[in-house]
Amino acid sequence: MIACACSDQDWGPHTNMSTTEHSPSTATGSQTELEFLRLRVKELEKEIKSLNELVRTDGLTGLYNQRYFREALHRECERTQRSGDDFCLVLVDLDHFKKVNDHWGHEAGNIALKRTAKLIRATIRPTDLPCRYGGEEFAILLPGTPLMISVQVAERIRSTIAGAVIVIDDKTLTLTASFGVCAFQRNSTLSQDQLVETADKQLYQAKREGRNRVCYEPAKSHTRQQVSQSEKDMLSDLFGNKSD
Ligand SMILES: Nc1nc2c(ncn2[C@@H]2O[C@H](COP(=O)(O)OP(=O)(O)OP(=O)(O)O)[C@@H](O)[C@H]2O)c(=O)[nH]1
């Protein structure tokens, strides 16, 4: 801790301090005070950092929570509009997870969720954003990653989850998951909510087709292919006939 005689109550303006009159002893006192304040600021910065972590993290799995997911989704959409790099949303839902709880108990279910989160994290890049979207559902944002690469990433996560044996005390259990993938491109017509709905639609397609699989929305299904007449008219007003 801090090598200073100041207590927490000392934090705040000091009315008995003069900045104009310096005797040797008060100068030393001010330096100590300044050093204390520097250390206190550092401590507060650390506290703010850990509070920020807490606010954006899911308590059970340590992945980002849904609140952070929404912020990150907004950021990635804006980045794509600016930079032109596609990003993808991968939704993951564990299959028949109710059976895990029913068979092994809620605590075993929690451990299975934690292990799954760890497997997901270990299978993606540090720059990807894995989130716990809901109970047994995860959302992963893959910045700067086009659709077919994202489908490969989803396939890799799928086979990692399916191949893992989760040991809880003397029990072993295996899990599978279904996946829905959707890309967001610069000329996408999708809103953020529509992007999530589209990935969700694909996820439920994967469930319908028998689970433990990856389904994806084909590229170009939600992109503006052509300049509309009203955009042509606007460009024409601005630049004459150059837009034709
Ligand atoms: N242990 C545990 N279970 C959870 C948690 N959140 C949700 N669940 C359970 O996840 C299960 C989800 O069940 P369903 O929505 O019926 O889906 P499912 O059994 O996975 O079936 P499909 O999605 O159709 O393959 C429920 O039993 C929930 O209680 C959690 O934090 N911990």
Distance in Å, CA 232 to ligand 1 centroid: 50
Q: Domain residue spans in the chain?
A: 66-216
**The predicted structure's pLDDT at residue 78:** 95
Of ligand 1's atoms, which has the minimum distance to the CA of residue 135?
Answer: 6
- Reported as a single tens digit per residue, the pLDDT across 117-143 is 999 999 999 999 999 999 999 999 999
Strands (E), the chain: 87-94, 129-134, 137-142, 166-168, 171-173, 177-184, 214-216
Contact 137, 143 (CB under 8 A): no
The single residue listed with the structure tokens 């994806």 is: 216
Tell me if the domain spanning 66-216 has CATH number 1.10.8.60.
no
Round to whole Å and give the CA distance between 15 and 148: 65
Round to whole Å and give the CA distance between 86 and 26: 61
Tell me, what's the ipTM? 0.96
Conformation bin of residue 65: beta by default, left when phi > 0, alpha when psi is -120 to 50: beta
Round to whole Å and give the CA distance between 46 and 40: 10
Contact 168, 104 (CB under 8 A): yes
- Reported as a single tens digit per residue, the pLDDT across 201-238 is 999 999 999 999 999 998 776 765 444 555 556 656 66
The identity of residue 224, as a single letter, is: R
**Ligand 1 proximity of 176 Cβ (cutoff 6 Å):** no
**Ligand 1 proximity of 96 Cβ (cutoff 6 Å):** yes
Distance in Å, CA 106 to ligand 1 centroid: 10
Round to whole Å and give the CA distance between 23 and 89: 65
> Whole-prediction pTM value?
0.79
136 is a catalytic site residue: yes
What does the pLDDT profile of the chain (244 residues) look like in tens digits? Answer: 333 333 444 444 344 444 444 455 577 788 899 999 999 999 999 999 989 888 999 999 999 999 999 999 999 999 999 999 999 999 999 999 999 999 999 999 999 999 999 999 999 999 999 999 999 999 999 999 999 999 999 999 999 999 999 999 888 999 999 999 999 999 888 999 999 999 999 999 999 999 999 999 987 767 654 445 555 566 566 656 543 3
